Structure 1
Amino acid sequence: MALNSNALTARLGRLTLPVKLAVACLFAALLPVSAALLVLNEEWEDNAIEDTQQMLAIRADDRERLLASHIGYFQRVAAGLAEADVIQDYLWALRRGDRTRASEVGATAFSFVQSMQAAEWGDTHHIFLTDSDGNVVLSPPHDEQDLPFYLPHIVGVDQINRAGSHLGHFIGNRSFFRQALTEPVVSPFYGFEERDHYHQLVLNPVFGPAGEPLGTVVIEIAIDAVTALMQEGITVGQSGRVFLATMDGQPVVHSRSEPIERIDSEGLSAAIAVGTETRGRFTRPDGTEVFGVYAPSTVYPWVVCIEIDSAEIMAPIWTQRRKALTIAVLLAMALGVVGVGIGLHFGLPLRRLAADADCIAHGSLEHA
């Protein structure tokens, strides 16, 4: 090892001055540039992560406010219907067992609910009334029919099914119904299913003259409209995903043919466990790294989820790294060339001076 070291030292000693200066300039450039690249690379990555998480959090907050406004509007619609005299009179007549009065007032109540249902159809589906036991007592079909789809009138089951009315259905066994007799309630997703699709329900109690619960106004929220609203006017890169999950970690879907198995997501599970917004870098079951924000609502039964692939966020950082490395190499090469130039500029006179000194040392004064 000592011999090799001595040999290397000897070789370096024989290098010409231009080469030595070129090597010195090269190292003088590479060392600080390399250190600067390490610092800049870490700063770029930290900034990219912080900016991404901030962007996702803003998008999630925007979706939450949009959805809350959407559901809040129909809560106000339900409250307005529940306070209408004709609705209260109708349910009060049924409660008293006054079939004549219920039939008379029911016709007006039916037309009132039917007109509201037609006006809101799309974002909602059916709007119907229940009694205090959870029996659906008035439910207009989507298409106008000549039949009276409200009690005390009797309509055949086949006619009800063909028309798509909920008259005669029962929701008193739903976990949220008893609460809805005392205060407004937004049901969980999948709180009310039909033959081929699900609904979320908005319920508002209807009270009698003495404040007793007479029943509820129920509005079916169309889940396909909710999921479409989630995607409206939002862009989250090329790989971004915006979706809604239940508080049980299930995807929110419209059709009963779509799977509703629990979403395998580290971020979503963490957000549900703590009940507050969770953000960070997570690994999906397929191994893909994502930046994600998962924001449980403090009012409604859902979690707003936004994810974007880590590779998409880091791609500009990798591009910056390559550019910076290229610049560093070019800079080092340029400084090396400068070193060679400096060496040549000073080296030639020095070699001449050394040659003259050598001649003088050997007794020749011709160069003096």
Structure 2
Amino acid sequence: HSALVVERRQTLIVWTILLAILTFSLSLIGTFVVRSGVITSVHAFATDPARGVGVLAILVIFTGGALCLFAARGRGFDQSVSFRPVSREGALILNNILLVVATGTVFLGTFYPLFVELTGPEKISVGPPYFNRTFGPIMVILGLALSAGPFLRWKRDGLRAALARLRWPLTMAGLLAAAAIFALGPGAALGLGLAAWLVLGAVWIVVARAQPFRMPSARSWTLLRTTPLAVWGTVLGHAGLGLLIAGITCVTLWDDEVIVALREGESATAGGYIFTLREVRVALEANYEVERATFDVTRNGAPVTTLEAQRRYYPVSGKVTTEAAIAPRFLSNLYVSVSGPSSGNTWGARIYHHPFVLLIWLGPLLMAFGGFLSLIDRRFRVGALAARPNPTVAPA
């Protein structure tokens, strides 16, 4: 978003350079965290304090050098360009501020326990309540402002005029939120209404460009076919964020988890699906012993799928691992994992139904693809401008 302002209005150059430096620095910090073991994390792998020191040295050299160059030479880049707060530039700056604050919130919640541990004997952990109360509201504000941004004009515009251009997406999202408030509660209404606002606002970008209800179909098709890749990138990026929010909301509302002990032939129900433990077989593989629990899944008496969860024991290392069984169903997941046998010849099982959880993956994929389309379009456009010969007569 910052690069777009740089390209169109030749401002925010210094800010964009600083963001690039900080982005690379945060990637190095993430590498340091997962390789050094300074923070206990499920994402940590191949931890080695010596390698952590090396990554930290790289971080200091590259980030410190970049910040020194930035402090010495950064002032000469920006140009003074005037614009109103209610404008495309203002919306993109608001987007930048909210995303930076959200990043700082996550960074603080991740590293604050480490700072506390370094300064005293106490140890603390930061859990979901912190992120729900800090990160969530920031993203709600960002989502509400996001759909209006593409409909604002450069330099100056009116908020009322921009919302008038979005009256149909705003009305439909408001109706959905109003219906959800009575059926599901205010939290669900906020999540689903915000998701609908983002998706419908993204679709409306294309509708406003093609104007299928005002122009002949041939003209609308031509406008649609010649839509720049950057516009499609915006559409996919904003719609992807809406799908991500919809997936998170649906999983929060309708996620079903069952922890139960089953004998062979017994069943448990989760999300309307019946999971029946058919059998448990023990086998010896090349380097581990395995217990395979087979579950038959049915819904309304009809077979759906068969899941095989495993529990493995590695004699050499003495470690026990579980291999969960996952079956996608449309946009949902069925999940089963088993623990060892207990008294009465029963087997512990964790059974989950995650409705619409695949939207949490589909949304970011669309966002990444939208960013890729925008980069491709910008590269060709900048290249075309650079190749254009200078005019022989300067314009008045």
Aligning the two structures, in what range does the TM-score lie when normalised by the shorter sequence?
A: under 0.3
TM-score, normalization by structure 1 = 0.22
CA radius of gyration, larger in: 1
Say which structure, 1 or 2, has more relative contact order (CA 8 Å, 6+ apart).
1
TM-score, normalization by structure 2 = 0.21
